[in-house]
Amino acid sequence: MCTNKKYTLSDEIVDYINECLVKEHPESYLIAILHKVQGIYGFLSEIHLDEVAHLLQVPTANVYGVATFYHYFRLKPRGQFAISVCMGTACFVKGADSVLTSFKSELGIDMGETTSDGLFSLEGTRCIGVCALAPVVTINDRVYSNVVSQQVSQILNEIKAAERV
Amino acid sequence: MKYINAVIDGLSVSVEEGKTIMEAADSIGSHVPRLCFHPVLSTEGACRICVVDVEGYNNHLPACATKLQDGMIITTNSPSLRETRRDLVELLLDNHPKNCLTCERDGNCELQNLSYKLGVRERLFEGWRKEFKFDDSNVSVLRDAEKCILCKRCVRVCSEIQGVHNLSQMYRGVKTVVSPAFMAPMDESVCIKCGQCINVCPTAAFIERDETDKVWNAINDPNKFVVVQTAPAIRSAIGEGWDMPYSTSWTGKTVAALRRLGFDAVFDTDFTADLTIMEESHELMERLKSGENLPMITSCSPGWINFVEHFYPELLPNVSTCKSPMQMLSTLAKTYYAEKTHRDPKDIYVVAVMPCVAKKFEAKRPEHYSPNGYPYTDAVITTRELIWMIKAYGIDFVKLHEDEFDVPLGTSSGAGDIFGATGGVMEAALRTAYEKITGESIENLTFTEVRAVEGLREATIDIKGTLVNVAVANGLNNAKIILEKVKSGEKQFHLIEIMACPGGCVNGGGQPIPHVNKFIYPLDKDLVKKRQQALYSIDEAKTLRKSHENPAILELYKEFLEAPGSHIAHELLHTTYSEKSPKGIK
Ligand code: SF4
Ligand code: SF4
Ligand code: SF4
Ligand code: FES
Ligand code: FES
């Protein structure tokens, strides 16, 4: 392993990976490491994934396989407008699923993805504690309550229109 | 050894402990249909086509992934099992292009064959179809992910045998796809272009880049003088295209077929294999004298060269500077031969028939262009492509007489023939080095120490008191073991032979894929052994068995190259390679 190579990953993460390397089965810490990287940078960039692979000596293809398998991991930075659909029990029962489906088809992206213009990203969250308003969607700091799937395109259009002026 | 007793399809079986239900069933002739299974690779258990019933279990069990246990009562066939298998195949077909008629694997595709055998005769539903761009970024290995059935054999061969780990399963559910990291095109990955994924893929999801059209065009161009060369390994396997016996070589018929196809001169890469030995043993002796850049590592295998560039750039100075035999022949065709026959090198078109898809890449390397801007090798076709060409032309290979190679680039010693088998380059080199070092004639020509189908061999050869430590590795996972020893200094080697493909070129990524109904899988040790045997037999039958005694080689030095390692030899026959990115993980 190269120790003299400069990494763009923070020292904190490089140190953590080095700690993992002396443990048994270092590769089993991959997911924990990716969580840390996403925690600090908000998403998993290709360069970071490649650096994790080289530091941990796990093939880059395998690291990417893990990163794409879990919906939790984001491979692109969040959009300018981060849409998050609550998937908690109350929201789910009241139709969060179909709201999410509408967002997916309107934006042409899946959970954890960002539109190519960087405007919107989409994710699901756990209960955010306002179940009375279910189903709930937050876009950045704004909370939308009692959302039905028919509303989705209108919500998006309003944001886009506001962006244009 | 403990034996396990069980009953399969009403017959009692007794097999060694640790065998799977599939292996036990095979031994009594119950061939459970299978798809993701591969005998040389780890068990994946992904396709579930191999389901069987075991008394006491409510669910079907996968035969390839379930160990046989004492007292099991197993049924491999029932209406419900057959229906399950058929449903599984139909599900795969629903998500598969209906391209069989124009598909490279038509007639030798495991999916097509299963569908036929299991009696799928109509397609009831049209499912959601995955869509992927055809990846033809790479000059050697092309990727059609729409034809992928996610058996992961390619992932397994690329990591377990080649240690390249280029491929993995990405995403999940309906989006699952096998790909290099970051969904990068193959050309921007750590792929070393060995083509072993092509060999193990049950469908046409991995194929080589077809260059036969280029070759037909050249043959039909009256202004081109088309030269062809065939690698040693071709003659050991080409007969398989016509179901001819194994362990036999087809040199004469291959030459006859090439001549009938219309090539103007038919040369033998074995000739430049001999030349490689001349240059390489000279280089070795120089390095032994100076003590520099030892161990020397062979440079014939282009998959290995790609590997060292991406994975072990720090060992590049150890790699022999000799061009591969293919490149040496192409270079001579456009220099020595052109001069000798008063032809403009620009009118000469060189086609190489290789057992290898990495050779297609090698031919296009900037290192292998002449200073005048044209490539020395114009087209590379695999053994498989040559078989199609011969069939397309309507030549009955079986009935052909035996022809001889053209002179002067067609005469070879037995040492050149064995280049196609793992350990062959080493053995050929030792024959010559022994005589050069001792000045005496060698009695025993076969160095069995370096012959094997296994992936790794180390030996110490006593050349009249000079002890030479050698190692032979095939399959790059094995090569890593030796290379790590070199790096750590654990052992001082002098000469190392590395071939990328398991078993050597005879099992290259461009060799014939045995017909599905034979149940012989590429990488199969017996198959490798048979092809190797074909080459060893040619060597044994020859009286000329040492490269440095090949009269055509001696003539070449006298007329043109002066001496091994001369200035002109260096200019034409040697090259160096350089570090490449992305960097692989060892
Ligand atoms: S891969 Fe097999 S099933 Fe698919 S189109 Fe080709 S021959 Fe047909
Ligand atoms: S050609 Fe070789 S290195 Fe490249 S993906 Fe296939 S098996 Fe891996
Ligand atoms: S490309 Fe071929 S070998 Fe690889 S997973 Fe797909 S079908 Fe299997
Ligand atoms: S379940 Fe959605 S806010 Fe509680
Ligand atoms: S062959 Fe057994 S699960 Fe695929």
Total tally of structural domains belonging to chain A = 2
Longest dimension (CA), chain B: 81
Q: Both A53 and A109 in a single domain?
A: no
Identify the domain boundary among A69, A92, A113. Answer: A69
Q: Return the closest-CA partner of residue A67 out of A113, A108, A25.
A: A113
Mean pLDDT in residue range B14-40: 96
Sign, Cα dihedral of B361, B365, B367, B371: positive
**Cβ(B460)–Cβ(B468) under 8 Å?**
yes
CB B501 within 8 A of CB B186: no
Q: Identify whether A3 is part of a domain.
A: no
Q: CA-to-CA distance for B226 and B273, rounded, in angstroms?
A: 21
Angle at alpha carbon of residue B133, lines to B93 and A75, rounded to 5°: 105
**Cβ pair B344, B374 in contact under 8 A:** no
Q: What band does B453 get if pLDDT is binned at 50, 70 and 90?
A: low
Q: Which domain holds residue A101?
A: 81-163
Start-to-end CA distance of chain B, whole Å, equals 37
pLDDT for res B36: 97
Segment B194-207, tens digit of pLDDT: 999 999 999 999 99
Cα–Cα dist B360/B382, whole Å: 9
Same domain, A50 and A122: no
Using a CB-CB distance cutoff of 8 angstroms, which residues of chain B are in contact with residue A61? Answer: 165-168, 179-181, 189
Active site residue B441: no
Give Cα separations from A146 to A96, A136, B6, B257 (angstroms): 10, 6, 62, 77
Give contacts of A109 with chain B, Cβ < 8 Å. Answer: none
Indicate whether A64 belongs to any domain. Answer: yes
Q: Which ligand ends up closest to the CA of B48?
A: 5
Q: What's the CATH code of the domain at A125?
A: 3.40.30.10
Residue A1 has pLDDT above 60, yes or no: no
Q: State the DSSP code for B406.
A: P
**pLDDT value of residue A4:** 47
pLDDT band for B14, please (50, 70, 90 cuts).
very high
Quick check: CB of B61 below 6 Å from ligand 5? no
- Tell me: pLDDT of B189 over 60: yes
Within its chain, how far is the Cα of B231 from the centroid? 12
Whether A108 is covered by a domain: the verdict is yes
**How far apart, in Å, are the Cα atoms of A54 and each of A2, A27, A101, B478?**
9, 12, 37, 21
Percent of chain B at pLDDT > 90 equals 84
Calculate mean pLDDT across residues B117-129.
81
Same domain, A87 and A64: no
Same domain, A64 and A85: no
Same domain, A63 and A98: no
Confidence band for B307, pLDDT divided at 50, 70 and 90: very high
CB contact under 8 A, B169 and A65: yes
Phi, psi of B275 (to 5 degrees): -65, -40
B209-235 pLDDT, tens per residue?
999 999 999 999 999 999 999 999 999
A55: distance to nearest CA of chain B, Å? 10
Let me know whether A86 and A158 are in one domain: yes
Q: What is the mean pLDDT of chain B?
A: 94
Is residue A76 one of the residues assigned to a domain?
no
- pLDDT for residue B11: 96
Task: Check if B131 contacts A (Cβ < 8 Å).
Answer: no
Q: CB count, 10 Å around CB of A150?
A: 10
Domains in chain B and their CATH numbers?
Answer: 3-77 (3.10.20.740), 104-208 (3.30.70.20), 213-573 (3.40.50.1780)
- Domain co-membership, A62 together with A90: no
Which region among A122-131, B57-66, B135-144 has the lowest average model confidence (pLDDT)? A122-131
Q: Are residues A114 and A146 in the same domain?
A: yes
What are the backbone dihedrals phi and psi of residue B290, each rounded to the nearest 5 degrees, phi first? -85, -20
Complete DSSP assignment for A91-157 = HHHTTHHHHHHHHHHHHT--TT-B-TTSSEEEEEE---S-GGG-S-EEETTEEE-S--GGGHHHHHH
Verify that A158 and A85 share a domain, yes or no.
Answer: yes
Is there a single domain that holds both residue A95 and residue A49? no
Alpha-carbon distance of A163 to A142, in angstroms, equals 16
